[in-house]
Chains A and B, each alone.
Chain A
Amino acid sequence: MKKWMACLLAMAMLLSLVACGGGKKSDKPDSAGVEKLVSEYGFQWTDPKAPILNEKGAKELSFSVYSSKNASALDYNDMKIMQDLFASTNVYVTWENVSESVYSQQKNLIFGNADNRPDAIYHAGMSSGEIIKYAKRHVLLPISDYLEYMPNFSKILNDRPDIKAQLINVEDGKIYSLPRVEEMGLLQNPNILFLNKNWTAQAIQAGALKGVTEAELKDGLALTSDQMTDLLRYFHDNDMNNNGNAGDERPLSFVYNNWQGNQCDLYGMFGLNDNLEHRIVIDDQINYTVQDERFKEATNFIAKWVADGLIDKVSFEQSQDNFLANGKGLENYGAFYWWESETVVSNPENYITCAPLIGPKGDQTVCVSNNPEVGTGEVVIFADCPNFEVLLAYFDRYYDPLISAQINYGPIGIVYEENLDSKGMLVQKELPAGITSDELRLQNAPLGIIYLNDYAWNNVVNMEPRAKLRLERLTEFVTPYVAKNVKPCPNLQFTLDELNTLANYETNFNDYVRTNLIRWLMGGGVSDAEWDAFQKELSGKVNIEGLKKVYQDAYDRFIGK
């Protein structure tokens, strides 16, 4: 054994010397320095509408940016928006496109091949842990040191300290990545309850559902948990879809632990704003819902529905594909949670949008998910990028609302008319024949770093009709039920120590909670003894308090406490 190891190590040492010596030296040109850039290439960054470089700069300087792209998208070099950007800035960028799946495999290799890195990565998908570690090794450019070249981005950081706080690296207080910000207000509440109107009407006629009249069967209907139990039981016992089989109706459906349409809203009946991580901010304090007594009550209540067949067990094992496929054809969904009813069932007009269910003690609230609307780590620039000042000024243009809209939805001339309307908003062009609006968008929009917020939605670009519909439903039937002091947990920045704690405990924590929770939900509930043992384990070996402290510290830094 020893001989083997020794042999191996010796061999490895020898070979690494060989391999290390073989590396090529970088053939990158040296930075010209800002003064030379200004004098020779006409570099300017103060006027955000004028070209960044002069003609000479357009010819002689170039940047290579590595980027994954959506499979339906054109090569970025051929995209009109990219060509338009070149025309308006004179900054020449060569895009190296790979597919998203290839990128996820190549990412480490790009970083690993230190002598042959591109200048920047677009759609970089860097986690804060990666950024912190690469930053420490001076691999990435500290963008915050050069904000003078980025007027649009600087303004965002000034106007929005919350966005700034999500970007700042705790270890040295600098920013190393450019974010994607698309604030539509859709992601926080990923579930809406939809109810089969006709089936419910039948239940009312049969006297199975008390306290609701047929006239009340419209959007916004709020049922109590008792009413819902009766209703679901009626769906379960009867042949609602008249196919001669009383067993194929699925009273209440969802996709367990899916990012949308999951079970978390059910915990709202007991006053909990649960989510998939079971982590939520209340009064600026990090809370784990699984430590709450009400979580036990809610779990037992839901487990009873499962045991009685009111929630089909298939909800816990199906993928969203199965869930969606089952909604087609023969109607068999009584009620379901999803992002929108139109995707799930063939006849969405038969389903009404419900307000959250009212629990046994009168609680009525919903899931608050931690899906962030700010994507950090979307673009990183390598520290050895020559003339990075120019590249920064170039990427800054992406944050101009009019450019952002085109980056996100497609360029003027293809997706939008050349002329803005009287309010200065972009006007959708007529669709060419044989292509859907989504296909057109995906082909021509690179997505990526953008800043679209309320201002943009009101002054530059209209939201897509679907997003609008969903937003209306959310503002009317969902968000009013979330207490003001409840907030999702945002992107947080951690120290290296904190990251190590997370790395060592979080996967184990997730596994522990998930294994137990499903066992209780499927097995009829949790006994008090089991619950106590669970709590003991949580605060013991699973180290929930340690995790909570990490998040609390990071959150305190985030709100500037």
Chain B
Amino acid sequence: MVLAAKKDSGTSRTDLPQGPVFQNKKLKAFKENAPFLIMIFPAVLVVFLFNYLPIYGVLIAFQDFMPGDKILSDTTIWVGFDNFKRFFSDPQFWPLMKNTFLICIYGFIIGFPLPILVSLMLNSLKGKKTAKFLQTIFTAPHFISLVVLVGMLTLFFGRYGLVNNLVASGGGERYSYFLETGAFRPLYILSSNWQDFGWSAVIYIAALSNVDPQQHEAAILDGATRFQRVIHVDLPAIMPMISVMLIMSIGGLMGVGYEKALLMQTDGNLAVSELVSTYVYKRGLTGVPDQAYATAIGLFNSIINVVLLIIANTTSKKFSENSLW
């Protein structure tokens, strides 16, 4: 299929007098680059089997579906955009969108630069042994399960937890971190970042390790300070990686799972902790369990994300050389 497409693009033969030569050149170039197709084939196959074969399931969003129904047959009950309409007309639609958006955007603003910062800092630490030790420590929280993470949060930030005990012994008032709406987002976001910044930094650390030391030496000769070298040597070196991660993160911005929010949810913080995902989860528990509704919301979410991705990619292309495609 790809081959055919390439051949078609050679229709401009009439414009080019040396047509056959051009064709030959193209063919030669293709031959030279054909090995790339072989290299990419296994990945294409895996994605086809495990991602594309089941993808017809998105059609569930337009059906009245129960498990076991044929997704495409004459017994399928098509309902058009009903599932979407139900979501849009839900009294909670706007609060849910707002809560989801805010927690994602705040999470992104803190969570995106942090690993970059940390990798640059670790990279410019003088003791390499210390740097390695710190790196190991920083990745460790990634292995803590959500249940334990939230368990520790309640222990540390509970009314009689570590933090409140410290505050109280200093004469302060105890504060109910889990009942106040103001505390939910900071707790949620900071704990997520605590858990994952070190892990996300690994890729940047790896990219930094490929920086040519000669560049540093040249900069030193020019009299650059260590800080200047971070800005002018290290940062540009990982800029392509940063751009791509940025685009992909923006593309995944609205995707936030329900597990952690649900674990941290109390009646007190419900006004901010009810997210699209937790709400859908709860709706599935009361009344009719509704696969189609959940799929519709998932699809809606995906579309928002795709739009964001395209915007991010186009913007990035315009202002830098880096883009995803």
Question: Measuring CB to CB, which residues of chain A are less than 8 angstroms from any residue of chain B?
Answer: 1, 4, 8, 11-13, 15-20, 108-114, 127, 129-130, 132-134, 137, 139, 256-257, 312-314, 316-319, 322, 499-500, 502-504, 506-508, 510-511, 514-515, 517-519, 522, 541-542
Docked Cα-Cα span, A314 to B168, in Å, equals 15
Q: Which of A17, A132, A541 contacts B72 (CB 8 A)?
A: A17
Which of B71, B267, B274, B287 makes the CB contact (< 8 A) with A20? B71
CB distance from B100 to the nearest CB of A (A): 15
Q: Scan residues 278-309 of chain B and give those whose CB is less than 8 A from a CB of chain A.
A: 279, 282-283, 286-291, 293, 306-307
A-contacting 9-mer, from B21-29, B32-40, B49-57, B225-233:
B49-57
Query: Residue B160 at the A interface, CB < 8 A?
Result: yes
Contact A127 B289 (CB under 8 A): yes
Return the CB mask of B214-245 against A: 1 if under 8 Å, else 0: 00000000000000000000000000000000
Check if B158 is an interface residue, CB within 8 A of chain A. Answer: yes
Contact B72 A13 (CB under 8 A): yes
B179: chain A residues at CB < 8 Å are: 313, 316-317, 518, 522
Known A11-B55, A134-B66, A503-B286; contact A515-B92, beta-carbon cutoff 8 A: no
Within 8 Å by CB of A507, from B54, B59, B70, B279, lies B279
- Whole-angstrom distance between the Cβ of B178 and the nearest chain A Cβ: 4
Quick check: A511 and B86 within 8 Å, CB to CB? Answer: no
Flag whether B187 is at the interface (Cβ < 8 A). no
- Could you tell me the distance between the alpha carbons of A345 and B235 in the complex, rounded to whole angstroms? 59
Residues of B within 8 A of A514 (CB): 267, 270
B286 — which chain A residues lie within 8 A by C-beta? 502-503, 506-507, 510
Which residue of chain B has its CB nearest to the CB of A543?
B91
- Inter-subunit contact B68/A317 (CB<8 Å): no
The answer to whether A500 and B288 touch (CB under 8 A), given A20-B73, A515-B267, A542-B91, is yes
Q: Say whether B71 contacts A507, CB under 8 Å.
A: no
Interface assignment of B90: CB less than 8 Å from any CB of chain A: yes
Closest residue of B by beta carbon distance from A136? B66
Not counting A316-B267, A503-B283, a sample of 7 additional A-B residue pairs whose C-beta atoms are within 8 angstroms of each other reads A18-B53, A19-B53, A20-B73, A500-B288, A502-B286, A518-B268, A522-B179
B58 at the interface (CB under 8 A from A): yes
A519 to B266 CA separation, bound complex (whole angstroms): 12
Asked if B316 is an interface residue, CB under 8 A from chain A, the answer is no
Complex A-B, nearest 7 residue pairs according to Cβ-Cβ distance, in ascending order: A16-B56, A503-B287, A129-B288, A112-B67, A111-B67, A518-B267, A314-B159
CA distance A329 to B306 in the complex (A): 56
Give the residues in chain B near A318, CB-CB below 8 Å.
158-159
Separation of A542 and B69 alpha carbons in the complex (Å):
33
Residues of chain B within 8 A (CB-CB) of A111 are 66-68
A132 CA / B64 CA spacing, docked (Å)? 13
Do A316 and B66 touch across chains, with their CB atoms under 8 A apart? Answer: no
We find that the number of chain B residues with CB closer than 8 angstroms to chain A is 46
A317 contacts B283, C-beta separation under 8 Å = no
Q: How many pairs of A and B residues are in contact by the CB < 8 Å rule?
A: 136
- Contact residues of B with A, CB < 8 Å? 52-56, 58-59, 66-73, 86, 90-92, 154, 158-160, 174, 176, 178-179, 266-268, 270-271, 274, 279, 282-283, 286-291, 293, 306-307, 310
Instruction: Please tell me if the beta carbons of A317 and B266 are within 8 angstroms of each other in the complex.
Output: yes
Given A13-B72, A316-B179, A507-B283, A256 contacting B53 (CB threshold 8 A): no
By beta carbon, the residue of chain A nearest B164 is A314
What is the CA–CA distance of A518 and B178 in the complex, to the nearest angstrom? 12
B158/A503 in contact, CB under 8 A: no
Question: Would you give the shortest CB distance from A393 to chain B, in whole angstroms?
Answer: 27
**Residues of B with C-beta under 8 A to A139:** 66, 68
Contact A503 B288 (CB under 8 A): yes
Q: Is the interface of A mostly helix, strand, loop or mixed?
A: helix
Cα A110 to Cα B67 with chains together (Å): 8
- State whether A499 touches B56 (Cβ < 8 A): no
Bound-state CA distance A334–B90 (Å) is 44
State whether B288 touches A499 (Cβ < 8 A): yes
Task: Tell me whether A517 and B287 are in contact (CB under 8 A).
Answer: no
| Assembled-state Cα–Cα distance A79/B249 (Å) | 52
Report which of B52, B86, B90, B289 forms a contact with A15, defined as CB distance below 8 A.
Answer: B52
Residues of chain B lying within 8 A (CB to CB) of residue A542: 91
| Cβ-defined contact, A322 with B154, below 8 A | yes
* Contact A15 to B56, CB < 8 A, known contacts A322-B154, A503-B283, A504-B86: yes
| Contact across chains for A1 and B288 when beta carbons are under 8 A apart | no
Chain A residues in 8 Å Cβ range of B291: 108
* Residues of B with C-beta under 8 A to A507: 92, 279, 282-283, 286
Which residues of A sit under 8 angstroms from B58, Cβ to Cβ? Answer: 8, 12
Chain A hits for B68, CB < 8 A: 111-114, 134, 137, 139
Please tell me if the beta carbons of B268 and A317 are within 8 angstroms of each other in the complex: yes
Contact B52 A129 (CB under 8 A): no
The verdict on A20 contacting B72 (CB below 8 Å), with A15-B55, A127-B289 known, is: yes
Subset of 22 A-B contacts with CB under 8 Å: A1-B310, A8-B55, A8-B58, A11-B55, A13-B56, A13-B72, A15-B55, A108-B289, A111-B68, A114-B68, A314-B159, A316-B179, A316-B266, A317-B158, A317-B179, A500-B287, A503-B286, A503-B288, A517-B267, A518-B267, A522-B176, A522-B179
Selected contact of A508 from candidates B55, B73, B92, B160, CB within 8 Å: B92
Q: Which of B73, B90, B288 has the most CB of A within 10 A?
A: B288
Rounded to whole Å, the gap between the CB of B296 and the closest CB of chain A is 13
Closest to B66 in A: A133
Nearest-neighbour CB distance to chain A for B108, whole angstroms, equals 23
A114 to chain B: which residues have CB within 8 Å? Answer: 68, 70
Whether A504 contacts B90 by the Cβ 8 Å rule is yes
User: Contact partner of A12 among B56, B287, B293, CB < 8 A?
Assistant: B56
Check A137 against B69 for contact (C-beta < 8 Å): yes
- In angstroms, Cα B299 to Cα A12, docked, is 14
Given the complex of chains A and B, what is the CA–CA distance between A542 and B90 in angstroms?
Answer: 10
